Chains A and B, each alone.
Chain A
Amino acid sequence: MITLDNIHKSFGDNHVLRGVDLHVARGTSMVIIGGSGTGKSIAIKTILGLVTPEKGTITVDGQDVSQTGDRDAFLARFGMLFQGAALFDSLPVWQNVAFRLLRGSLARPKEEAHEIAIEKLRRVGLTPDVADRLPAELSGGMQKRVGLARAIAAEPEIIFFDEPTTGLDPIMAGVINDLIREIVTEMGATTMTITHDMTSVRTIADNVAMLHGGKIRWTGPVADIDGATDPYVDQFIHGRAEGPIETVR
């Protein structure tokens, strides 16, 4: 469904992506792991067109994403949970969740959008009284849940999760991981998740890819990751300070 072929991206002298090849099959959950600053978020942003690669092609259902005529319709297929939730400060929670449903090609009447927002908030474990609050009035965990509700509000085919558990306590991280897994299974969506958290990997992933040195170092089913012989994967999943991955970057 999503294919990245030889993707390159640099920022000045920093060659972040040096030929990323990756395929994500429809209805599967791909988790990308790798150290900080290895370009995991950039890889996802290239698919959405937030970052333009210098070289290579990205296709979704065989269509080159750089050739999409109707950008609104293309982006309507995607949902994304950002690392810091990226909620709009000036809007109440329900309008954040229903943002896409209040404007553009997926616009619905305001009452219907409000109802959907409340339902999605319930789905992520938040009560309707949260709906009229501003994002700044919520805890980090609640903001992540609102971000998750926003990502699934329009029931997209493809959902990206950028470090969904970063900054959360282990219990809240577990709650978010379970929610993501449940939602992915329920909706049958194709998902890509970026994380450093091996608990998240084991909960969320069908397949795992490790990004290192600007390339996909290893990819395979999550069940195979513990048996992977690649020393980079072995060091990463066991969190060892010693190994081929430099610890001072």
Chain B
Amino acid sequence: MSWIAALGRAALGLLAAMGRVAMFFGTSVTHLLRPPFYPRELALALLNIGWLSLPVVGLTAIFTGGALALQIYAGGARFNAEAVVPQIVAIGMVRELGPVLVGLMIAARVTSSIAAEIATMKVTEQIDALVTLSTHPMKYLTVPRVLAATLVVPLLVAVGDVIGIFGGYAVATGTLGFNAAAYIQNTVDFLQMRDITSSLVKGAVFGCIAALMGCYFGMNSGRGAQGVGRATKGSVEAAAVLILAANFVLTGVFFSV
């Protein structure tokens, strides 16, 4: 019966961790609503998370869109459905691949960076120094990052969607013989407002998760270089899993019939 006890302990541990993360998020929200505010920190976070993530998001999206066009063309050819490439690329990028891949790239790039930075600040007593200088670490470090990611990741997703569709367009018109005007017309005609809304909402939720996990693991890191390493690794793992879980839930909310 020891395996039942182990399973129980693991389940309780998971629930306790979820509770701690939920409390951390709740505390962040209460600090978001009460002054003082740190607009400079917010601007820096917007720049770091948004602007500086554009290259990696753009490259990820264009290659994914191109590969998707090739796959749909090859797969569609088995039942004479090659013509659906524009529609499937559009729906695939906007509904799923755009938000999920951008979310995962943000988890890799931003969550790890936030966790490592805050964990290092904790190890080197910079967090304690903030407190002694009458500055609440949640307000100064967590709120600007979580808010910035929630605001800017939807924009990154929108950019990723457009670049991904362009990747499919470039492959389809360049190598698969599609007519350029017809491709664009098919894409525009097929997409619905619900597709775009779901994409942006997913972006906001994934951005919030990515920054929140970075801050949570950073603030709760252990001592020394090993503590920083564990916090960074844990934050990316947790962010990636939560993003995929949230994607499943949001897809169900938006598209279940």
Contacts from A to B (Cβ < 8 Å):
45, 48-50, 71-72, 75-76, 78-80, 82-84, 86-89, 99-100, 103-106, 150
Contact = CB atoms under 8 A, between A and B. Distances in A.
B134 A83 contact: no
Contact of B125 (A72, A84, A104): A84
Interface in B101-148: 120-121, 124-126, 128-135
Given A103-B36, A104-B36, A75 B133 contact: yes
B129 A71 contact: no
A241 B128 CA distance: 34
B148 to A, nearest CB: 15
Contacts of A80: 129, 132
B134 A71 contact: yes
Nearest to B38: A103
26 contacts: A45-B128, A48-B132, A71-B134, A75-B132, A75-B133, A79-B132, A82-B128, A84-B125, A86-B125, A86-B126, A86-B128, A86-B129, A87-B129, A88-B121, A88-B126, A88-B130, A99-B133, A99-B135, A100-B133, A100-B134, A103-B36, A103-B135, A104-B36, A104-B134, A104-B135, A105-B134
Interface of B: 36, 38, 120-121, 124-126, 128-135
A86 B129 CA distance: 6
Contacts of A45: 128
From B38, B120, B124, B129, name the one whose CB has the most chain A CB atoms within 10 angstroms: B129
B131 A49 contact: yes
From B128, B129, B133, name the one whose CB has the most chain A CB atoms within 10 angstroms: B133
A76 B124 CA distance: 22
From A49, A87, A88, name the one whose CB has the most chain B CB atoms within 10 angstroms: A88
Contacts of A89: 120-121, 126
Contacts of B133: 75, 99-100, 104, 150
B23 to A, nearest CB: 17
B132 A50 contact: yes
Given A84-B125, A103-B36, A50 B135 contact: no
B120 to A, nearest CB: 8
A80 B133 CA distance: 9
A75 B131 contact: yes
Closest 3 CB pairs of A and B: A86-B129, A86-B125, A75-B134
A76 B128 CA distance: 14
A126 B72 CA distance: 66
A104 B120 CA distance: 24
A16 to B, nearest CB: 15
Contacts of B121: 88-89
Given A49-B131, A84-B124, 11 more contacts: A45-B128, A72-B134, A79-B132, A82-B125, A82-B128, A86-B124, A86-B125, A88-B126, A89-B121, A104-B134, A150-B133
